[in-house]
Structure 1
Amino acid sequence: MNKKILVIGSANTDMVIKTKHFPLPGETVLGGRFIMNPGGKGANQAIAAARLGGQITFITKIGNDIFGRQALQQFLKEGVNAGYVISDPDNPSGVALITVDEKGENAIVVAPGSNGTLSPEDVTKAEAVFAEAEIILMQLEIPLPTVLFAADLAARYSKKVILNPAPAALLPYELYRNLYIITPNRSEAEALTGVLIKDLATTEQAAQKLRQKGIANVVITLGTEGAFAYNDSLAKLIPATLVTAVDTTAAGDVFNGALAVSLAEGLELDVAVEFANQAAAISVTRMGAQASAPFRKELLSAPLK
């Protein structure tokens, strides 16, 4: 089974403060411990997938600064192929400021930096990797034209593209038709479809609208409720593994990395989503983004071979 996965996306440094509650406008809140962690949706997903057994190549752009150098060292440490990590001499590395409240919920502000300069030309340099990969995994913390170009290139090689549409953005029709799976969370699905998700019926309605745009498979993540998987033969809520959350940062990224690995290994969609749910559940019991991603041996059950 081909476990080669190409991840295209962002790399950031996360600066995290845990506090009792989020500050209101104009309010100063004294928080607890400050933590600085490697993050960025692309990097989070690449490392999550690598820890779960995928053979990962990562395309991203980092600044020629201490944050970029630390990120590169982390990719190499985690066994990610960093041969297509590009150093941008003109822009700093991306940074995310994250506040985590006592319930484990988070509020995030991102300064994209070099992520905002990842171009179609940068992606073209890795065309040989598209030909070899089983799965192409992307998010929306890099320029949309680059995402469109990469999805089109993947289609030319008949590769399966997973798009995690985060942060939420309106997407052109030509992108939808090149996707194998889209994985919005509740708010992202609402933004993409105009359907207010209140229950299982409205979740399925939103999934139907996304399928009508030409996507073969839809997975809507619903936090503690689990994830709803939908395609021609499946309409199923796969329950979440219940845990006590400490920090939900990167839970969606771990989910997407795990989903890519399980699909690359040939699992059916519902089993793949169950595996991804388990990985995400472990991640929310820990602080940090990449630091929270579990290794394969940690999952409650590991049905993949």
Structure 2
Amino acid sequence: MVNRVTVLGSLNVDHIMQIKRLPLPGETMTMTDKQIAGGGKGANQAIAAARSGARTAFIGKIGADEQGKLMRTYLEDAKIDTSSVTLADAETGQAFILLQENGENSILVLGGANQALTATDIEAAKPKIKDSDFLITQFETPIEQAIKAFAYAKENGVVTILNPAPAKRVPKELLENVDLIVLNETETEILTGIKVVEEDTWRAAAEKLAKLGVQNTIITLGSKGAYYKTIEAEGFIKAFKVTAVDTTAAGDTFLGALSSQLDRDLTNIAEAIVFASMASALAVQKIGAIPSIPRLETVNEALGSATDY
């Protein structure tokens, strides 16, 4: 059965500046190269879900500019329903990515049209949310609209997935309607106050999140892998060993791919994480966010020939 995934999120045009290392304060450096590509956490996650086989829809805002046209084209090329992607009186969101030789990145985001999402947009998208198996959001659009969308989703039996990035305080009104939270080490520490370095701390962080109202957690641990704890199960999935070129969309690819494979009751979470981990491993071997996200057949082929598992 094909999962129906709706993503409420951001659409950004990425400006990728390739450098040897981060500059020191006051230092002027020469870039080794630069590129422009589609991105934004919401767009990345939606395209990852669609390319992994999910029937995907998007709720978001773009500007009436060439960059907005570019982002809509990216979504439409991935066969994503863009009927809830509307125009804002602001420029399309942008991200400026400092990509180091070791594959690590630092990102500056200009929200633009992403911050213009309103309650009216959520109201108009309610039929789309209701028709979904999963609703995903992040924090690159107004959190007030995420609260409204997740409350409506829960009223209608839709499974909600929160990616609290960029990390910030999460209101209780949102957490109480989150079925699954997917977050990295930094986000985990900011939300729980627990530095995740080993299994005991992973578990402690998940238990803290459960006390805050979220019973199902996946903590992504970079090159180590991913830890998960649900109401029914707990485990760790090691990462596939690859040489990273650009980690920009790693987490977003993981989440989108996960949503395409996950059962609504989360009983296949370990298998879905393995699939998502491979999708992420493939993505980090190419430069750019959306251009690096693999397709279903590529992920399955890689899994079939993997020797790690």
2-side partners of 1:277 and 1:255: how far apart?
6
How far 1:267 moved relative to its partner?
5.9
Partner of 1:257 in structure 2?
A: 256
Per-residue deviation at 1:26? Answer: 1.6
Residue equivalent to 2:172: 173
- Matched residue of 1:83: which SS? strand
The structure 1 segments of at least 4 consecutive aligned residues displaced by more than 4 Å after TM superposition are: 264-267
Query: Counterpart of 2:41?
Result: 41
Q: How does 1:3-22 map to 2 (within 5 A)?
A: 3-22=3-22
The C-alpha deviation readout for 1:34-86, integer Å capped at 9, x for no partner, is 10001000001111111110100001100011100111111111111111111
Query: Aligned residue for 1:125?
Result: 124
- 1:232 Cα deviation (Å)? 2.3
Shift of 1:278: 0.8
Distance across 2 between alignment mates of 1:4 and 1:228: 25
CA contact (8 A) 1:106 1:249 kept: yes
User: Does the 8 A contact of 1:4 with 1:264 survive in 2?
Assistant: no
| Code of the aligned partner of 1:164 | N
Whether contact under 8 Å (2:119, 2:145) holds in the other structure is yes
Q: Map Cα deviations across residues 249-277 of structure 1 (whole Å, 9 max, x no partner).
A: 01000000011111158761111111111
TM-score (normalizing by structure 2): 0.95
Query: SS of the residue aligned with 1:69?
Result: helix
Q: Does 1:284 align with 2:309?
A: no
Task: Tell me what 1:272 maps to.
Answer: 272
How much has 1:32 moved relative to structure 2? 1.3
> Secondary structure, in 3 states, of the residue corresponding to 1:224?
coil
CA deviation after TM superposition for structure 1 residue 233, in Å = 2.6
- Aligned-pair CA distance for 1:2: 4.7
Q: How large is the Cα RMSD of the aligned pairs?
A: 1.2
CA contact (8 A) 2:63 2:113 kept: yes
Q: How does 1:59-208 map to 2 (within 5 A)?
A: 59-88=59-88, 90-208=89-207
Match status 1:52 vs 2:52: yes
Encode CA deviations 1:127-184: one digit per residue, 9 max, x unaligned.
1112210000111100110111111111111110001110001011121111110011
Amino acid at match of 1:149: K
Partner amino acid, structure 2, of 1:287: I
TM-score (norm 1): 0.96
Give the partner amino acid of 1:14: D
Question: Structure 2: where are the runs of 5+ without partners?
Answer: 305-309
Q: Provide the rounded CA distance (Å) in 1 between the counterparts of 2:62 and 2:25.
A: 32
More divergent stretch after superposition (194-203 vs 49-58): 194-203
CA distance, structure 1, for counterparts of residue 297 and residue 91 of structure 2: 36
| Higher mean C-alpha displacement, 54-63 vs 24-33 | 24-33
Is the CA contact 1:181–1:215 (under 8 Å) kept in the aligned structure 2? yes
Return the alpha-carbon distance in structure 2 between the equivalents of residues 2 and 133 of structure 1: 11
SS class of match (2:109): strand
8 Å contact kept, 1:211–1:231: no
Map of 2:303 onto structure 1: 301
Q: Which amino acid aligns with 1:104?
A: G
Question: Equivalents in 1 of 2:298, 2:80: separation in Å?
Answer: 20
Residue in 2 that maps onto 1:232? 231
Distance 1:197 1:267 in 2: 25
**For the residues of structure 2 that align with 1:277 and 1:159, how far apart are their CA atoms?**
24
The residue number in structure 1 matching 2:307 is: none
Distance in 1 between residues matched to 2:182 and 2:169, nearest whole Å: 14
Equivalenced residue count is 301
Counterpart of 2:31 in 1: which secondary structure? coil
| Structure 1 residues 218-270: Cα deviation after superposition (integer angstroms, max 9, x where no partner) | 00000001010001232211101110000000100000001111115876111
Aligned partner of 2:21: which letter?
H
Gaps of 5+ in 1: none
